Structure 1
């Protein structure tokens, strides 16, 4: 490591004990999407005073430190989920919401990094992106982009890290290319003709038609998509009828469509419509498919991924005295989705996945990474920040 790296690393490590305490404080008082004001206020209290601050996206903010010139944006998500916590720790949330996706960890790590950059100086300015509404629509990331704030603060690259229990503690995935899928929701309505269940010849059964669509739609994955392109078709709700002896007039199903290819994404939508229409007609019914487009495919910048992995290995070698040890290289792609994908369409960007030691998965009432997760995420963000500083023209990589 060069001198700047060493000073930043030391400053970051000095901030971590306070960041661990902040994480627990944020965890105990979660705020759901669109109501993040208390979380934002607490995070801003912990960030350096006198830095350039811009309020964005209703309940979000951007804070710039580190001087003039092109900057690196580092995102932290403000919102929690409407899940009642069941972890049993003394600092558990008790307001019916919960940081069940690790956003408390991300925010605390971001605060530690921002304070270190502000105190020591750095190869490039940094913008702490305190983003609301990652868990819901409309997207907080999209609102930030459309506000023009990234341009006004000269953000030339974006980085973020997300805890991920499918990776082992000590692993950080800096994977280039597509790492998260697009995520679209659909509502399929099949309209038939109601009638007495004892006289099926006088009705047109939308339930039977919907059942056939659910089965046939799985062939979108097995027989329509490229086997090398991850694709998911999931039906999440099925609603029809009010009585067991009545054929209903209509049936409604809702679900999600996910893929790692923006090109196939549009074709997937069209194929679902064709299947639904054809099966409905075969049963004497009519079909209507409404698709709500969500987040695009999240594509990591190849150079950012490579340089971050290199720096992370140098920053967090075997001498790192934490339970997590050093950050082993890892690769991870999943059909999960994140609105960080919005940033990848406007600037070179990198989303990392950081392994944590927990027996529960994301979005569950028992999800609780330990405090060392803050350390692991902060170390990963530092490496990505330095790599991005180099990519946008600074001196982040020796």
Structure 2
């Protein structure tokens, strides 16, 4: 079964919605224009309930089916990134320094397309809860919505989400049972030394050399403290210090990211990083403070729900176009909080060859929207058939 015919009929409308959303990218929890546009469309479609102001600008729309049954949750993220756009398209961002560089405009459009179809047909039992979420890129909006009680408030039994995938052929799906995306943590190291003249280093306690030593030693956690067949990434991504060539500064700063799947590995990294920072600081005669921030947990699909989602995806994309045991990846996703609260699955949907995610030339492929919307509606109709 390819794209649902009725959804194909309003594919041009979906393109219009998506391109409008692309012009108004907003960040974090502060999405007034985006959420207003989404709410207007949902009211036009005739959803039965619209609950706004969840996690500030998030919302849950309820569509009632025919007859008593459970509630299935479908989620789309709405926020953009603080990246200047360089696509050259006529519908480019109108907000300087912000752009939809991760395709959340497309994710929102796919769920709006599903909403339009489901309100028209209601070919299912129970209810659908459409979850429009802010702050996926930073702030953990999914976790905030869960903490504000959406799963219990709307009696959601299972939950699903989609993310577009550059490089995967258009309309093909990829997922896997169990862990799909990594947990993400960040670390900050602030170093206090004693500055002075660059020609007289013996009179200083050099934080620059300490920063170099700490950054290099942190990399040995992966190469010397970790079993090579388990997944772990540690990347030092920032070192800031100094102002000119002939002054040894007083301070230095190091920042980076840690990606894991196993809580035991995560705990080992935290322990070793503290030991390294303390030891290196002592050896260089400086003071150093580690601030380790635990972030989004790993995105872990329920095995049964993932298998069900794969069977639905195969109806839409066709045989041989769904990778049901795809490679897990070290990127992170706050949908993980929803999967901790309820069983469900997260899938990647191919958008063909394009610039990568979080790139200034990235642009969501509008051909994908009807595919994603069709997947969502068939998921509902098969999970909750009319009795």
What's the TM-score, normalizing by structure 2?
A: 0.91
- Aligned residue in 2 for 1:89: 89
Q: Could you tell me which of 4, 15, 30 is aligned with 1:35? A: 30
Name the SS for the 1:90 alignment partner: coil
1:354 deviation in Å? 1.0
- Confirm or deny that 1:130 pairs with 2:132: yes
1:297 deviation in Å? 0.8
Structure 1 residues 375-384 or 288-297, which shifts more? 375-384
Taking the TM superposition and a 5 Å limit, the aligned residue runs for 1:76-115 are: 76-96=76-96, 97-115=98-116
Stretches of structure 2 lacking an aligned partner (at least 5 in a row): none
Q: How many residues align?
A: 378
Structure 1 residues 43-52 or 213-222, which shifts more? 43-52
- Aligned residue in 2 for 1:365: 360
- 1:50–1:377 CA distance, 2 compared to 1 (3 A): closer
- Aligned residue in 1 for 2:258: 257
CA distance, structure 2, for counterparts of residue 383 and residue 58 of structure 1: 30
1:243 deviation in Å? 3.2
- Aligned residue in 2 for 1:305: 306
CA distance, structure 2, for counterparts of residue 65 and residue 49 of structure 1: 8
Taking the TM superposition and a 5 Å limit, the aligned residue runs for 1:86-235 are: 86-96=86-96, 97-121=98-122, 122-137=124-139, 139-235=140-236
Name the SS for the 1:304 alignment partner: helix
- Answer yes or no: is the 8 Å Cα contact 2:75–2:161 preserved in 1: yes
CA distance, structure 2, for counterparts of residue 191 and residue 82 of structure 1: 31
CA distance, structure 2, for counterparts of residue 225 and residue 166 of structure 1: 31
Name the SS for the 1:345 alignment partner: helix
Taking the TM superposition and a 5 Å limit, the aligned residue runs for 1:266-285 are: 266-285=267-286
1:374 deviation in Å? 0.8
Aligned Cα root-mean-square deviation (Å): 2.2
Stretches of structure 1 lacking an aligned partner (at least 5 in a row): 319-325
1:384 deviation in Å? 4.4
- Confirm or deny that 1:354 pairs with 2:349: yes
Q: Deviations over 1:29-48 (max 9, x none)?
A: 22222321211121122223
- 1:164–1:37 CA distance, 2 compared to 1 (3 A): same
Q: Deviations over 1:161-220 (max 9, x none)?
A: 001113232321121111111111111022222233323333222211211111111111
- Aligned residue in 2 for 1:60: 58
1:267 deviation in Å? 2.1
- 1:386–1:188 CA distance, 2 compared to 1 (3 A): farther
1:106 deviation in Å? 0.8
CA distance, structure 2, for counterparts of residue 14 and residue 174 of structure 1: 28
- 1:327–1:25 CA distance, 2 compared to 1 (3 A): farther
